[in-house]
């Protein structure tokens, strides 16, 4: 740098220009028809394109071989047929769980997971895909690898549904289909509600992905305005609330959004959703050894949900690298389940899937990011753990 210029080797790496073309799977049918019309095409061409996107799960314009070359070229010019630049897959549980790490056009990493459930007791085989709605997450729950990453950015509609198209394509090679999609990957869906609702619509819509409303679940840490917005839409989607603590002081620590949207309001909004849609609300409860798994905690869950159209899923915490917290032991999990059931609230214990591939969403992206948690995230976590310890010391029976 003697002459004041950067040496070539130290100059900022040249980044390729960002691909600004929207993903085609995020384009609503009316918009696609308008685009085709503007290209001088007849209306059936838009339907043909949609069939390639949704029926044949095309990942590139070249696969749309029955379209005229000029239309394929126009498509390539104006859209990306797949917004996932690159994907790597890891497998666990003897092939029953597969986890994908997707790289987006700007280099951001997001994850999705496929969980296969073999047929059991007259129940048909199922394949559930768990997808991400944001790169990172601003909520910052201290037991969650995505929270540790901090917030990156919202995903757009195509980036969300392309995760589903990725797995659908993979399953199609085995003659299988996706049976359920859950928004339980990275990010807080209802803090990206416009894109998430549009993506859920595309997945639900018989003319597009055609999953069916009853096969779709949206999980939220408790964004009350988002829950109210869903309620007004009256969809038949399943709403899942990430509860994790029924005592407000503890939930302030475990789900920091509780300070903005306190639990009583969240449960009231979720109950209205259940009443209006007739759908039972799921409450997710990650069990962390010695933190939120006492009989008093279970009693508080029972008191909170008694008499409501609710169902509790207990999930022993997936160990994640950035925290010492561990899952509750099997005996405590069973006791907790009994204690909640005693209040008449239905409970299911969920087995951990894919521990060895970091199936708690956010883990792979965190590893790739080098887990060099930005200072601010680390300080926030340290503060939470301190506050958590203080709150626990003062309040635990």
The minimum distance between CB 173 and ligand SAH, in angstroms, equals 28
Q: What is the DSSP letter of 23?
A: B
DSSP 334-346: HHHHHHHHTTT--
Q: Are 157 and 198 in contact (CB under 8 A)?
A: yes
Token code pair at residue 237: 């989607």
Return the number of the residue (140 or 388) whose C-beta is nearest ligand SF4: 140
Return the number of the residue (142 or 235) whose C-beta is nearest ligand SF4: 142
- Measured distance CA(123)–CA(349) in Å, rounded: 18
Return the number of the residue (188 or 339) whose C-beta is nearest ligand SF4: 188
- Measured distance CA(283)–CA(184) in Å, rounded: 13
From 286, 291, 310, 337, residue interacting with ligand SAH (rule: CB under 6 A): 286
Among ligand SF4, ligand SAH, none, residue 256 binds (CB under 5-8 Å by kind): none
Give every strand in the sheet of 126-130, ordered side by side: 84-92, 97-104, 109-117, 126-130, 180-183, 216-220, 238-242, 281-287, 310-316, 347-349
The minimum distance between CB 44 and ligand SF4, in angstroms, equals 42
What is the binding site for ligand SF4 (CB under 6 A)? 137, 139-141, 144, 146-147, 187-188, 221, 242
Tally of CB atoms within 10 A around 345: 19
Among ligand SAH, ligand SF4, none, residue 318 binds (CB under 5-8 Å by kind): ligand SAH
Q: Which of 130, 137, 141, 361 is catalytic?
A: 361
The minimum distance between CB 350 and ligand SAH, in angstroms, equals 9
Any idea which residue has 């999705």 for tokens?
Answer: 112
Q: Which of 98, 111, 148, 339 is catalytic?
A: 111
The reply to whether 137 belongs to the active site is: no
Say which residues have a Cβ less than 8 Å from residue 300's Cβ, sequence separation at least 6. 245, 246, 247
Segments in the chain forming alpha helices (H): 29-38, 43-50, 69-78, 145-149, 157-172, 193-204, 224-233, 248-254, 263-277, 295-305, 330-341, 363-368, 375-395
By the rule CB under 6 A, 219 interacts with ligand SAH? yes
By the rule CB under 6 A, 144 interacts with ligand SAH? yes
The minimum distance between CB 219 and ligand SF4, in angstroms, equals 7
The reply to whether 324 belongs to the active site is: no
Q: Which residues inside 89-118 make contact with ligand SAH, applying CB under 6 A?
A: none
Q: What is the DSSP letter of 52?
A: I
Among ligand SF4, ligand SAH, none, residue 203 binds (CB under 5-8 Å by kind): none
By the rule CB under 6 A, 317 interacts with ligand SAH? yes
By the rule CB under 6 A, 253 interacts with ligand SAH? no
R_g over Cα of the chain? 23
- Measured distance CA(48)–CA(66) in Å, rounded: 9
Strands 109-117 and 126-130 come out as antiparallel
Among ligand SAH, ligand SF4, none, residue 140 binds (CB under 5-8 Å by kind): ligand SF4
Return the number of the residue (335 or 391) whose C-beta is nearest ligand SF4: 391
From 33, 157, 178, 184, residue interacting with ligand SAH (rule: CB under 6 A): 184
Return the number of the residue (140 or 327) whose C-beta is nearest ligand SF4: 140
Site string for ligand SAH, 352-381 (x = CB under 6 A): --------x---------------------
Any idea which residue has 């917290």 for tokens?
Answer: 325
Summarize as ranges the residues that interact with ligand SAH (CB under 6 A): 137, 143-144, 184, 188-189, 219-221, 242, 284, 286, 315, 317-318, 320, 360
Which residues does the annotation mark as catalytic?
Answer: 111, 361
């Amino acid at each position: 740098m003697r002459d004041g210029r950067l040496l070539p080797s130290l100059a900022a790496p040249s980044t390729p220009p960002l691909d600004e073309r929207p993903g085609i799977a995020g384009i609503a049918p009316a918009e696609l028809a308008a685009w085709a019309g503007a290209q001088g095409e007849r209306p059936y061409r838009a339907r043909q394109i949609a069939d390639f996107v949704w029926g044949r799960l095309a990942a590139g314009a070249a696969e749309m071989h029955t379209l005229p070359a000029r239309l394929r070229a126009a498509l390539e010019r104006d859209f990306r047929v797949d917004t996932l630049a690159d994907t790597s897959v890891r497998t666990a549980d003897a092939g029953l769980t597969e986890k994908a790490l997707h790289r987006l056009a700007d280099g951001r990493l997001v994850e999705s997971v496929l969980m296969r459930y073999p047929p059991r007791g007259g129940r048909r085989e199922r394949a559930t895909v768990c997808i991400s709605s944001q790169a990172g997450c601003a909520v910052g729950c201290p037991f969650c690898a995505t929270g540790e990453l901090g917030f990156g950015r919202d995903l757009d509609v195509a980036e969300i549904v392309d995760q589903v198209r990725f797995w659908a394509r993979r399953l199609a090679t085995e003659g299988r289909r996706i049976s359920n999609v859950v928004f339980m990957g990275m990010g807080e869906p209802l803090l990206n509600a416009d894109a998430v609702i549009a993506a859920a619509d595309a997945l639900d819509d018989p003319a597009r992905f055609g999953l069916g409303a009853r096969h779709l679940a949206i999980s939220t840490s408790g964004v009350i305005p988002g829950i109210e917005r869903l309620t007004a839409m009256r969809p038949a989607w399943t709403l899942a609330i990430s509860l994790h603590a029924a005592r407000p002081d503890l939930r302030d620590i475990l789900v920091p959004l509780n300070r903005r949207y306190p639990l009583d309001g969240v449960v009231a909004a979720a109950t209205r959703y259940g009443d209006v849609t007739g759908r039972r609300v799921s409450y997710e409860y990650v069990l962390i050894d010695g933190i939120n798994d006492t009989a008093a905690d279970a009693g508080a869950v029972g008191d909170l949900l008694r008499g409501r159209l609710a169902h509790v899923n207990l999930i022993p915490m997936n160990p994640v690298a950035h925290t010492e917290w561990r899952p509750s032991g099997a005996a405590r999990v069973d006791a907790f389940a009994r204690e909640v059931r005693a209040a008449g609230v239905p409970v299911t214990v969920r087995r951990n899937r894919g521990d060895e591939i970091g199936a708690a969403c956010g883990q792979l992206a965190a590893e790739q990011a080098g887990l060099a948690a930005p200072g601010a995230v680390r300080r926030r976590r340290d503060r939470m753990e301190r506050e958590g310890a203080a709150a626990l010391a003062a309040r635990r029976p």
